[in-house]
Amino acid sequence: MKIDRRSFLAFVIGGAAGSTLSPLPWKLTDDISIWTQNWPWTPVPPRGERTFVTSTCTLCPGGCGISVCKVDDRVIKVEGLKGHPVNDGGICPLGLSAAQLLYSSTRVPGPLKKVAGGWQEVSWSSALGDIAFQLSELRAKAMPESVAWISESDRGTTAELCKRLLTVFGSPNYIRTPSLQDTLETALYLTQGQRAMAGFDLEQADFVLSFGAGLIEGWGSPGHMLRARSAMRAHGGRITHIDPRLSKTAAKADRWIPIQPGTEGALALGLAHVIIREGLFRKEFVDGRTAGFEAFKQLAGEGFAPEAVAKLTGIDAKTIVGLAQSFAGAKKPLAVCGRGSGRVPGGLQEALAVHYLNALVGSINRPGGVIAVPEPEYINWPEPEMDATASKGMQQPRLDGAGSSEAPLARYLLNRLPKALASASASPVQALFVSGANPVHGLAGTAAVAQAFRKIPLIVSLSPFMDETAAMAHYILPTHTSLERYEDVPSALGFPRPVLGLSKPAIKPLLNTKHAGDVVIELARALRSPVAGAFPWADYEGCLKQTLGGSWAALTKAGFVVDAKFSPSGFETASKKFEFKNSELAKLPAFAAAAAPGDERSFPLLLVPYDTLRLAVGAVGSPPFLMKTLEETVLQQDDVLVEINPSTAGGLGLVEGAAAMLSTPQGRARVRVHITDGIMPGLVAMPRGLGHTAHDKFLAGKGVNINDLIAPVEDPASGFEAGWGIRAKLAKA
Amino acid sequence: MDQHNGSNKKFGMVIDLDKCTGCGACMVACMAENNVPVREDETNKMLSLHWMRVYRLTNGKPFPQSEECFLPRPCQHCEGHHGHSPCVSVCPATATDYDMHTGIVSQIPTRCFGCRYCMAACPYHVRQFNWWDPVWPDGMERMLNPNVSVRMRGIVEKCSFCYHRYQIAKDKAYAEGRRELQEGEYQTACTQACPAGAILFGDLNNPKHAVARIAQPDPAREGKSRNPNAFRLLERLGTNPKIYYLSTREWVRKAGDTEVRKPEKA
């Protein structure tokens, strides 16, 4: 048969038409689709028995109850614990992601020692032996006070064990990381004479006036605050939020009043001025239960008239008067301070000004007000026996200057440590332990922090993850993650009642890690007598069980215990009253708002940080789930977006998403801009929690760490970190 | 009639936008519950898989009159006219179906062959295409939930109202000799997680359930709410969705029903 053109075409066209009509292509498409859907690398999760473990979340000081869902020995998910007094079933996105931290690829698998710039795996006994040897040398040289310990908390058995180790070793240098707790505790101490934690009964208040506090952005306990906000609004409560930026809290408030950043304290005094002038304060409280009111009347009376405050804050005088009237006119008003999530302590006098507002309306220690929650008292270990070296070391001044004549009110001043290290020729810190904190990423002015830390000959990190501070350490003694360990949670941050929670291991430790408490006990044992004598417990679990005593059974069953009969105690000042004025308050310098560092001419804009629940700040980095929830207006590929007002953008010729160079007196960084009407002209806002160099590929190298760009600012009244922003310049890149 | 269920249910949600704080817990709860994978770069939201996504709405006014609102958007589980939801009507593979007993729009990943007609038909962008094989970082596959199958690339996926939780709740009730579920027994992961209590879930056909009491659907007008503060997204399209949103702010309610209007003549 001859194949000519005609028959060839007929064959091809006929064949094509025929096979189209046959089931063949459809069957093939289907088969290909099924084949591609059955790649062996698509995981099939194994089935098993589903169980729940009742525990308490320790990823932040919020103290939320959690229920950890397991299938056989795998942790599937973390859920909120229904019926828990703090969060009642709700949970924040970070708490929900705890299992991703447990199974994170950045976990340190076992003890590591830095050798020639790289990491070498070592055994626990050799690592602890090495460290104990170096510590003994310091003790032999009679310089035990050169050992310091940085931690996120100073309460609970683990913190107490660390402090105890330092005490019997002879060092007063236990340092809690800075936060709003510092200022609030000091304010309570000064005015009410109490060493107590500040609780806020938001739920029962009916008018909440927030001076920039990110009530739904990580301030206090997120699980509690989000629930309390809904509850207070359900009974008709209203929120007024003061903030230069339309934060989530501002957007969800009933009223948003923009303010010139840094002038919140002046506004509080301005409101006090109006309340006093118009006689709107609660006489029964002010006359009966306070002292020194005349002095405060004078302070608020001079220089804080609405017109003067209007000039400072940019809020017009009529609004100030109206706000003061509605605040004082409410049945249960409550004023709260602390910018964003309260990561920075802020100025003491600003906190005091807001606290005085609460006193004027009687919102102290009453339902719907500020509650002084007593510090937990269940840890009653016998006083340790100290030798001469230890006693001498404990009498040395603290390296951070807390409690010294310069900063008599502060208990911890981590912000001062870098300076103290930099100014000395030989580092006054010879050994530094860091647990539950990441100061190299989290302190303002990171370059100076890292430089100071490089002078320390021995840094021991107790982080479960390879974070920025761990990367700088000489030893990493990895501890269990939040789902693998026992831990008492002595309080819930900002919660108005005492609540004791227990974190329980949901799963056996996956890696060669130890509990921080066990690290302390074993280190003490390796240090031998007399240090070892202060730690009679076999291990941390034994110590915890013995310490919690009668509460242990209830805690392991329900996960928490509350004191149902709690009512706030009376004031413990000399006058047994709330004191607007006393000898200690009189020592404070005159009220002045802290200025942003930098020169206005070279840096015409102001850079301010903001917080979001979708980014973790503090000891842990954001897990992949959180990174996925970040909005496209916050992160685009690896670039962070800074928020600017359209008028700011117009002046600089920047359009939405445009690349720009952001410079401050501290440094510069490439960013993109997000143009929004939700920010005051002249401001640049950047989120906290990005710009990690450590952690996994989901987080590392994304965005900019705002702490690289801002400088530490010290509060003259207390020594606390009080920076709220820095002068900045933005230019097209 | 379904003999097991007694009467037909119509599961739906009421999301109070005044309560929603935009924290993102619902999104994370959904991802953890439903084995939604995470890629290294999730900043291109057109390519990012979200069964639940929180949108940010703005009133478009200049500083300082600007306002914002957050709107969580799961699958709207449209009933359309008698179960003719937009996506169900176009699926050539019967991979998605409207369940008359529960009112849930299902999605069967192994039936889907990825033609994406449903994505084009869905007015809410709830359906998303799997462009990549789901990959979990080493070790993280241990937290996968065995009750939800892991989807492979090349298929479309979306919110199922956590249907597996309905099955578990029913199994438990039957084992205890009950035929009817209590109101709180079947809850979606997002509802359970919401720390602000902004999401309510239940049976819209059961007048005792909170969702029915608040949404007050009018059966004569395809479920339109009789609550003046309630609205559904793009209600005009006749999709008859089962997610009711509440807001006391008028601009928010209007934003839920935007339409392309002819530009007004200057």
- Is A435 within a domain? yes
What total of structural domains would you count in chain A?
Answer: 4
Chain B residues touching A314 at Cβ < 8 A: none
Give yes or no: residues A274 and A351 share one domain: yes
Q: Considering the domain boundaries, does residue A401 fall inside one?
A: yes
Residues A336 and A254 in one domain: yes
Tell me the residue range of the domain where B236 lies: 11-180+189-255
- Residue ranges of alpha helices (H) inside A588-667 are 624-629, 646-652
Residue in B24, B136, B145 nearest the CB of A77:
B145
**Interchain CB contact of A36 with B (< 8 Å):** yes
* B153 near A CB under 8 A: yes
- A449 and A337 inside one domain: no
**H or E segment and range at residue A288:** helix A283-289
Phi then psi dihedrals of residue A304, to 5 deg: -120, 30
Q: Is A622 on the interface with B (CB under 8 A)?
A: no
Record: contact A44-B27, CB cut-off 8 A: no
Is A101 domain-assigned?
no
Chain B window 48-77: which residues touch A at a Cβ cutoff of 8 Å?
48, 50, 54, 56, 58, 60-70
A684 and A650, same structural domain? yes
Is B24 close to A629, i.e. CB distance below 8 A?
yes
* A residues 495-534 closer than 8 Å to B (CB): none
For the segment A205-227, the average pLDDT, to the nearest whole number, is 96
Out of B48, B62, B135, closest to residue A677 by CB: B62
Q: Is residue A618 part of a domain?
A: yes
Helices and strands per DSSP (H, E), number in chain B: 7, 12
For residue A468, being part of any structural domain is answered with yes
Is residue A337, in this structure, part of any structural domain at all?
Answer: yes
Instruction: Tell me, yes or no, whether A569 lies in a domain.
Output: no
A399 pLDDT more than 80:
yes
Whether A215 is covered by a domain: the verdict is yes
Confidence (pLDDT) at B264: 54
Structure confidence at residue B138 (pLDDT): 86
- pLDDT value at residue B1: 37
A677 Cβ under 8 Å from any chain B Cβ: yes
Q: Six-digit token pair at A236?
A: 């008709």
Q: Write the pLDDT tens digit of every residue in A690-724.
A: 999 999 999 999 999 999 999 999 999 999 999 99
Predicted local confidence at residue A242, as pLDDT: 98
- A675–chain B nearest CA distance, Å: 11
For tokens 């990493």, the residue is: A476
- Tens of pLDDT along A646-678? 999 999 999 999 999 999 999 999 999 999 999
**Closest chain A C-alpha to B215 CA, distance in angstroms:** 17
Note the Cα A532 to chain centre separation in Å. Answer: 33
Residues for chain A: how many in total?
A: 733
A487-489 and A207-213 strand pairing: unpaired
Contact A239, A215 (CB under 8 A): yes
Interface contact flag, B38 A74, Cβ < 8 Å: no
A-facing residues of B in 204-223 (CB < 8 A) are none
Domain of B151, CATH number, reads: 3.30.70.20
Can you read off the two tokens belonging to residue B165?
A: 């939780």
Q: What is the pLDDT of residues A100-146, one digit of tens each?
A: 999 999 999 999 999 999 999 999 999 999 999 999 999 999 999 99
Q: Does B25 touch chain A (CB under 8 A)?
A: yes
Confidence of residue B257 (pLDDT cuts 50, 70, 90): confident
The total number of structural domains that make up chain B: 1
Does residue B2 form part of some domain?
Answer: no
Cβ–Cβ below 8 Å for B195 and A105: no
Q: Tell whether B266 is covered by a domain.
A: no
Residue B265 lies in a domain: no
**pLDDT the model gives residue B262:** 52
> What pLDDT score does B111 carry?
87
**What part of A 100-119 touches B (C-beta under 8 Å)?**
100, 102-105
Mean pLDDT of chain A: 95
Whether B3 is in a domain gets the answer no
Q: Which of B66, B144, B195 sits opposite A92 (nearest CB)?
A: B195
Nearest Cβ partner for A91 among B25, B35, B153: B25
Based on the domain organization, do A545 and A425 belong to the same domain? yes
Tell which residue, A428, A713, A427, has the closest CA to residue A596.
A713
Q: Domain range for residue A715?
A: 605-732
- pLDDT band at residue B5 under the 50/70/90 scheme: very low
Q: Do B33 and A646 touch (CB under 8 A)?
A: no
User: Band of the pLDDT at B258, cuts 50, 70, 90?
Assistant: low
Contacts of B164 (CB under 8 A, 6+ apart): B147, B148
Query: What's the whole-model pTM score?
Result: 0.94
**Nearest CB to A677; choose among B23, B61, B196:** B61
- Boundary residue ending a domain (A368, A401, A416): A368
Residue B196 lies in a domain: yes
For residue B90, report the phi and psi dihedrals to the nearest 5 degrees: -100, -10
- Residue A618: the pLDDT is 87
Q: Is the pLDDT confidence value at A236 over 60?
A: yes
Using the Cβ of B254 and the Cβ atoms of chain A, whether some distance falls under 8 Å is answered with no
**CATH classification at residue A273:** 3.40.228.10
Is residue B27 within 8 angstroms of chain A, CB to CB? Answer: yes
Are the beta carbons of B23 and A71 separated by less than 8 Å?
no
User: What pLDDT does residue A20 have?
Assistant: 86
pLDDT of residue B265: 52
Q: Is A628 on the interface with B (CB under 8 A)?
A: yes
- Coil, strand, or helix at residue A121? strand
What is the ipTM, given to two decimal places?
0.94
Is B69's CB within 8 Å of A71's CB?
Answer: no
Quick check: bond before A530 cis, omega within 30?
A: yes
Q: How far apart are CA A450 and CA A412, in angstroms?
A: 19
Please report, in angstroms and rounded to a whole number, the separation of the first and last CA atoms in chain A.
73
What tokens were used for A378? Answer: 């269940």
pLDDT digits (tens, 9 = 90+) for A464-507: 999 999 999 999 999 999 999 999 999 999 999 999 999 999 99
A314 touching B, CB under 8 A?
no
pLDDT value of residue A8? 93
> Do A302 and A445 fall within a single domain?
no
Query: Which of residues A591 and A180 earns the better pLDDT score?
Result: A180
Q: Is residue B6 situated within a structural domain?
A: no
Cα four-point dihedral sign A458, A464, A465, A469: negative
B162 lies within 8 A of chain A by CB: no
- How, if at all, do strands A683-687 and B243-246 pair? unpaired
Q: How many residue pairs from chains A and B have C-beta atoms closer than 8 A? A: 207
Structure tokens at A710: 């801002």
Contacts of A645 in chain B (CB under 8 A): 63
Written as six digits, the tokens of A621 are: 């980095």
With CB atoms and an 8 Å threshold, state whether B24 touches A216.
no
Give a yes or no: residue B263 inside a domain. Answer: no
pLDDT in tens, A284-300: 999 999 999 999 999 99
Residue A110 neighbours by CB under 8 Å, 6+ apart: A121, A124, A478, A511, A512, A513
